[in-house]
Amino acid sequence: MSPTSAVPVSLAEIARIAGVGRAAVSNWRRRHDSFPSRIGGTDVSPQFSLSEVEQWLRGKGKLSDAGAREFLWPRFEALGSRDESGLTIAEAARRMRSPRARSAGPELSAEARALAGDAARLGRSEGQRTTFEFLLQRWLDTHVRQLSTTPPPLATLMARIALDSRIGEGAGGLTVFDPACGTGHLAAAAAAEYDGPGLTLLGCERDPALAALASARLGFVTEGRDVVTEIASVDALRADPFPGPRADIALCNPPFNERDWGYEELATDQRWTHGLPPRTEPELAWVQHLLAHLRPGGTAVVVLPPAVASRKAGRRIRGSLLRTGMLRAVVALPPGCAQPHSVSLQLWVLRATPDGAASGPATQDALLVDATRSARPVMREQGPDWATLTDFVRSAVSQLDSPEEALPEGAVRVSLLDLLDDEVDITPGRYTASGTEPSRVELTASWNELADSFDELGGLVNHLSKIGPTGAEPRTTATVGDLAKAGALTLSTGQQPADTATASATSGAHLPLLTVADLLLDGTPTGRVTPSGAHAVAEEGDVVVAGVVRAFRAWVHQGEPMALGPQLSALRVAPEKLNAHFLAGCLRAPMNGRQAGTHASSSSRVDVRRLLVLQLPLEEQAVYAETFRRLAAFESLLSRTAGLGRGLVDDARDRLAAGGPTR
């Protein structure tokens, strides 16, 4: 039997394999009687046999260039376990680089070993590193809620800061240390940025699957170079495999807010030269762990949550780090740089005392850099402008040992006398002007952006203002229920999962779950569930309707499939009868919601089946749909412009209150 015969795939996965949109696959299913029959799933989210899909696509000549790798991935998902699929990818990488290798660890099943062999053969024919990186990225994307990774631009920035800031170098070249390396993002960035002789990469990771993937990744990154790599699968704080000062640079993105980090058993550990970290301050344990592994003059760069800079419990350790000159700089990053994306994370730059230096700090100040306003994203889903952010941060940190040099706006040297008060708060925004006062360049850019928004709004107003009053003759309408009976659409309504929190924590959970509570915040799904017959699933092109008065709205869903909670419905149109954007526009009309709602309270439900839709020919629907799209764009742009305007008012007031010029 073919190894893919029992592997189920969804319409979305078939679309990826074929390199087309989901709507195209739905059309194939309707138009071709030979399309494979459903083997599982639900009517809304059907599943098909991978082997049958492969045979059909090949017969129709519809495979994309990336089809071979895409065919491989569902078999990894079918293993069912996050750990086994990760270890199988690592085993495949080992076989790619060592073709004669055939043995695998006892933790892999026979199915996983066979899959590793197939993946290795594909890699040798289509590119080993490309195939591995494809599988690794798909694995990370699938388990994004369970894993915290360091984005490559942030990893590169950290590596550059560390390389720029270290003093001297080990006799054997450069040694890089990461005690919580995950899948090796930081070590890979350091290897890419360092072009000198002799490189040693040391890492620890307590999750065996992540450790195996890190070893595999670094094997590809350093191939053909004089590099020694050693990744230990241990808890670095409890069982340190690399004792002693060995590293020239240390990079780390440690786990945040973990209470069970070894407080009791490590109370007398010699690494705590700046004080025993409180149970509630595990991040300060990682900071001291890094310092204990640095050679004299070595530099560590670590990602930390902002509370570590100000929490009362850690002030004694922060004070000691400042007095000894080991904490050299703190950089506040804009939100969106890494998980959690809503938080303004910080980079701490630490340095071990150089050989021959006095016991006290070389300088009597610390560098504080507020980059929260530098290259910040306009929209929440966008990340920062990494090129601008990197240039700003490196420009500021390059002045670390040059007290006579002028710093860029947003960076300041603060004397230890000012920092070593009762709070020892080293949050950059407390001391830098950019935390309260925008720069002239920022203000100019914001005013220009506002002017562009007004121009765009003007164009939409010019078009939308032509919408006139309704005609004297009433137009024919039909309810959603009638359209469903006529086969113009299918309607499915979300339900409350039996245990959303439990489902979210399982390795099989991979669909985001949208609820009414999410819509009342910012519309971002906060839960995840394993798809089943109990869930309505909205796929790309479906119309989603919130059937509750306080959050009543309708829109065409774009992006990956999404499970719907209670009071949310998915309407899938028959494209030969209904235009999805036309349908969403009709349903979204406020008077429609009022007519179909009970009006008893803001939590009253809207009967989606009673919502009215104009009856028009498909060609005329397309004309209305375009205008509905422009209305939606106008609404979104109006909201963004209002937020931008409010921010400019606040920024201008700050500047004027600080004595800035009036023109």
Q: What is the pLDDT of residues 129-157, one digit of tens each?
A: 999 998 998 898 888 777 888 999 999 99
Q: Which pLDDT tens digit goes with each residue over 248-291?
A: 999 999 998 888 899 999 999 999 999 999 999 999 999 999 99
Worst-scoring range by mean pLDDT, 209-213, 276-280, 358-362, 560-564? 358-362
**Could you tell me which residue, 114 or 502, shows the higher pLDDT?**
114
Q: Over 256-289, what HEC string results?
A: CCCCCCCCCCCCCCCCCCCCCCCCCCHHHHHHHH
> How confident is the model at residue 605, as a pLDDT?
79
C-alpha distances in angstroms, 571 versus 104, 568, 610?
A: 48, 10, 13
75 phi, psi to nearest 5 deg: -70, -35
Phi-psi category of residue 394: left, alpha or beta, with phi > 0 → left and psi -120 to 50 → alpha: alpha
Residue with tokens 């340190």: 240
The model's confidence at residue 64, banded by pLDDT at 50, 70 and 90, is low
Rounded CA Rg of the chain: 29
Contact 266, 160 (CB under 8 A): no
Average pLDDT over residues 85-96: 92
The model's confidence at residue 339, banded by pLDDT at 50, 70 and 90, is confident
Average pLDDT over residues 278-305: 95
Cα separation, 558 vs 576, whole angstroms: 20
Q: Of 513, 561, 526, 525, which is closest to residue 541 (Cα–Cα)?
A: 561
Is the per-residue pLDDT at 380 higher than 80? Answer: no
The model's confidence at residue 204, banded by pLDDT at 50, 70 and 90, is very high
Alpha helix locations (H) across 98-235?
A: 110-126, 128-142, 152-165, 185-193, 208-221
Residue 614 forms beta bridges with which residues? 477
**Maximum CA extent, the chain:** 93
Residue with tokens 């039909």: 478
Grouping H, G, I as helix, E, B as strand and the rest as coil, residue 570 is strand
Q: Which pLDDT tens digit goes with each residue over 480-513?
A: 999 999 999 999 887 655 443 333 333 344 678 8
Q: Over 479-491, what HEC string results?
A: EHHHHHHCCCEEE
Contact 296, 354 (CB under 8 A): yes
> How confident is the model at residue 218, as a pLDDT?
95
Q: Of 371, 378, 313, 380, which is closest to residue 344 (Cα–Cα)?
A: 371
Residue with tokens 């203002």: 465
Q: Of 450, 447, 377, which is closest to residue 655 (Cα–Cα)?
A: 447
The H helix count followed by the E strand count for the chain is 21, 22
Chain mean pLDDT for the chain: 83
Is the per-residue pLDDT at 425 higher than 90? Answer: yes
Tokens of residue 393, six digits: 């941060």
> How confident is the model at residue 509, as a pLDDT?
42
Residue with tokens 């699929």: 85
Read off the DSSP letter of residue 223: T
Read off the DSSP letter of residue 248: E
Worst-scoring range by mean pLDDT, 91-95, 115-119, 591-595? 591-595
Is the pTM value of this prediction over 0.85? Answer: no
Identify the burial level of 40 via C-beta atoms within 10 angstroms of its C-beta, where 0-12 means exposed, 13-18 middle and 19 or more buried.
exposed
Pairing of strands 489-493, 553-556: unpaired
Cα separation, 216 vs 211, whole angstroms: 9
Q: Which pLDDT tens digit goes with each residue over 155-190?
A: 999 999 999 988 876 667 899 999 999 999 999 999
Give percent of the chain with pLDDT exceeding 70.
86
Read off the DSSP letter of residue 314: G
Alpha helix locations (H) across 398-479?
A: 416-419, 440-464
Neighbouring C-alpha atoms within 13 Å toward the C-beta of 182: 21
